[in-house]
Amino acid sequence: MSDLLAALDSLRERLDEIPQADERRLQELKTELLGRKAGALTEILKALPGLEPDERKRVGGAANALKRELERAIDAREASLKQSATNLSGVDLTLPGRRQWGGGLHLVTQVVDEICDIFRELGFTRVTGSEAETERYNFYALNFPKDHPALDAQDSFYLGGDVLLRTHTSPVQIHTLETYPPPIRIVVPGRCYRRDPFDASHSPVFEQIEGFAVDDGISFVDFKATLAAWARRFFSPQTKVRFRPSYFPFTEPSAEMDVQCQICAGSGCAACKQTGWMEILGSGMVHPAVLENCKVDSEKYTGFAWGMGPERIAMLRHGIPDIRVFFDSDVRFLEQFIGKEESGVRSQDLESDGPAPESRLLTP
């Protein structure tokens, strides 16, 4: 008898499972506990006729009481499951799902990667460096005269003593020249800082990509051909480029490189101020004094260098009128560019009628 009472006790513990059961589990429990053929409680009830009368009375009473409890718990659970199902009737299951939040690289990061990838195919290694530099690496090794206006404290953020936030990525080239013997071919992306106003075309924090090649026998032809090859890969194979004389203390001769306007294809528009050209980068042959400052023999080695602003290039490519939108973190603006450049597809390829004009571009 005590076996049957113990079996009833352990069956009672199964009561706790009922309120948690879903529809399928509830049907399983019903069969396992109360099933007519092999339900656990049914088996106990079947054993009653073989017991002594007063045992039969005790076990039978306890078994029937448990049976009623189980039935009540199962009925209650069935009712509550039915209730939840009818609550769902107000939900329109045909509505489209909510769009998943999908992150992506910032447009400027995508442009930096795309530019560096093209230079990698041309043999340039991507190198980065510190954003805090000394005056020697940021200015003097680069042949800035001691009284050059760019050295003025107004133009730079000084951290103390002669340490400042770099105003260009050029110090990385100086460190490289001091560390590795030529041949050197590097492309150097990174954040730079200047005490500029924060307006539509300037930001005190901006991204730069500089590039640099030094070897025995590098000529002006290598310089022009490399940059023109890059421009045709980045813009389009038909893109025309032109070089205009310029001045930088670290290059001689120096030149600005323009590409045919990407908005009007050279016919003249507001974006290119009716010139048909867009200024893309500054460049030149590395000044011999810079090589000598780094103990590189300027009689034996020559090189070329260039610098460009990825924000400006992204603005030109997409017709973005104000640099400040890159720093606003407004996803309504940023999400327009998710994945476009990452997939290797240019906006020109995506838009059948050319790059996005300003009117179609969402700028807050």
Binding site for ligand 2U9 (CB under 6 A): 142, 170, 173-174, 208, 210, 212, 248, 250-251, 282-284, 286, 290, 305-309
For residue 349, the SS3 value is: helix
Instruction: Select 174 or 334, whichever has its Cβ closest to ligand 2U9.
Output: 174
CB of 146 to ligand 2U9, least distance (A): 18
Residue carrying the six token digits 């910032």: 106
Instruction: Select 41 or 142, whichever has its Cβ closest to ligand 2U9.
Output: 142
CB of 182 to ligand 2U9, least distance (A): 12
Chain mean position to CA 215: 35
Phi, psi of 338 (to 5 degrees): -60, 125
Phi, psi of 253 (to 5 degrees): -70, 165
* Range list of β-strands (E), 194-339: 205-216, 241-248, 251-260, 277-286, 301-308
Instruction: Select 99 or 295, whichever has its Cβ closest to ligand 2U9.
Output: 295
CB of 214 to ligand 2U9, least distance (A): 9
Residues 362 and 333 sit within 8 Å (Cβ to Cβ): yes
Instruction: Select 223 or 337, whichever has its Cβ closest to ligand 2U9.
Output: 223
Instruction: Select 286 or 356, whichever has its Cβ closest to ligand 2U9.
Output: 286
CB of 253 to ligand 2U9, least distance (A): 11
CB of 311 to ligand 2U9, least distance (A): 9
For residue 190, the SS3 value is: strand
Quote the CA–CA distance of 250 and 211 in Å, as a whole number.
13
Residue number of the CB closest to ligand 2U9 reads 282
Quote the CA–CA distance of 170 and 227 in Å, as a whole number.
18
Report which residue type is found at 178. Answer: E
CB of 302 to ligand 2U9, least distance (A): 12
Quote the CA–CA distance of 46 and 133 in Å, as a whole number.
91
Q: b vs e for 63-91, b when ≥16 Cβ sit within 10 Å of the residue's Cβ?
A: beebbeebeebbeebbeeeeeeeeeeeee
Instruction: Select 151 or 308, whichever has its Cβ closest to ligand 2U9.
Output: 308
CB of 308 to ligand 2U9, least distance (A): 5
Instruction: Select 9 or 178, whichever has its Cβ closest to ligand 2U9.
Output: 178
Instruction: Select 216 or 351, whichever has its Cβ closest to ligand 2U9.
Output: 216
HSE-CB of 240 using CA atoms within 13 angstroms: 8
Strands 184-193 and 125-126, by their bridges, are: parallel
CB of 318 to ligand 2U9, least distance (A): 17
Quote the CA–CA distance of 215 and 73 in Å, as a whole number.
86
